[in-house]
Structure 1
Amino acid sequence: MNLPKQVQIKEVGPRDGLQNEKKEIATEDKIEWINQMSESGLSYIEITSFVHPKWIPQLKDAVEVAKSIERKDGVTYAALVPNMKGLERAIEADVDEVSIFMSASESHNKNNINKSISETYPVLKEVVDEAKKAGKSVRGYVSTVFGCPYEGNVDEHQVIDICDNLFNMGIDELSIGDTIGVANPVQVEHVLSEFEKHFSKDQLALHFHDTRGMALANTVVALQLGYHIFDSALGGLGGCPYAKGASGNVATDDLAHMLQQMGLEQSIDLNKLQEAAQFIESKLDQPLTSKQMGISRRL
């Protein structure tokens, strides 16, 4: 197999994983959880979102969380930012990286952001410009790349055009999302083979969801094509509020275990990662869905 020499896992659990949880997680528990993950060897943690609390009450404590965590050298602490008001709070909290987001389909974008795609661009451009002035790196997210809950298949040329626009704004990296977990390995190979004609693999990350149990299979296909940056959420937390039945992200613990078995990742301490997973599971109303957590319960 032709595989990359190094792979980076980007943990999105504290933001993407928690944002739709109905049970409110205490601020001090979020802080402790992030601190535990910082000690596990992860090099990137998306810690929160500076979206208005009206839309995501679970993350209303974004500033307090960002200011209170114990920052570890070598770890990037990022946060999602929807607009200039959110950026002001993110800069106040001194996050390392700002993430912007939009969808590849009009319907999902309107439901998620309440704007058309064309209306979204100027809002994001202002955020990117001001974040750069503040010395922050900027990451972009494009959702529903492999399928939309409202429109079905999404034209890959439309996706590439959106990605072009975001890179032209000056973002440093772009995360390509299978938001509702409909991608399959053949589709992933086709889409990513098109992407590599337009963009550097060093600037693209893959964000797979495991709704139909294909996230790790899709990851392997991406690895074979030379992609080496992957988003995940510890324990498989997460989901899409606008896609009925969409389950969580690919689990960080499962992904890290697979990569270590393949000889592609050696920096993460799986025992510390599992301890962090057990900690956050104890604060939730339901068990985490990762295979690693399932195994630990049976042992």
Structure 2
Amino acid sequence: MKILITGANGQLGSEINELSASFSNLEFVFSDLPELDICNREMLAQFASDHQIKGIINCAAYTAVDKAEEDSKTAELVNATAVGNLVAVAEAQNLKLIHISTDYVFDGTAHLPYSEEFEVSPLGVYGATKRKGEEFVLNSYSESIVIRTSWLYSSFGNNFVKTMLRLGKEREELGVIFDQVGTPTYARDLAQTCLEILSKSDKLDTSGKLYHFSNEGVASWFDFAKAIMEMGNVDCIVNPIETKDYPTPAKRPHYSVLNKAKIKADYGIEIPYWRDSLKECIQRLKELKEQV
């Protein structure tokens, strides 16, 4: 089966690229701008047809949460309209589709991990546009599912782990928010899960359509930063601060822990603990640095 990876140059797409050789029953076509613009439905349909695509993992997204507040048109185009295009092409050409969404569809007022049945209530433009994208998939007749994730990081691209390691070497101490709680997710683990779902299943289980995936466990951004400094051997003091002390244009959910019981049950997925995956990522970063 030939799989199209959209947004291939991002964190998740790059991790899929690295893992692709381990899935010999799948062929891959990696695409990103300017080669393929998924906001252009005609271009997307032609591309999928020309390359004989049978499945798509949509890793493309507008993820600049704060910038989205003033650039809502672009956020909507990438996070919603483009997903509608993917769904339309998937329906027309009988393709499998895995679309990646976010914990930002929730307002963060819960006190127990969010299951897929929990009512959504996005706080900002980013979450609202991602929800619109979800709806295209959830209302589709195509063989497609949505996987929500949270706090994604990787050895590729720009992310919290890399930022903390850089700032930790530049400064003696940092203030990091402690009153926002969720779960850090290693993009490599999510990539592995997406590929296992496609390679092991003749047919996607679309009876539920919607799944949650993050690493196991719970942490605040402060906990996450402390672990990064510890595992990265960076001598920097991390101080806990409140959200009100670090104002941003977009509001963040204070609680965004995801319940993963459904994806584990339906697909037999084993999910690593967040600290174990973080250790693996930081070791990978050290190896990459040594190779440069």
* TM-score normalised per structure 2: 0.39
| Max Rg structure | 2
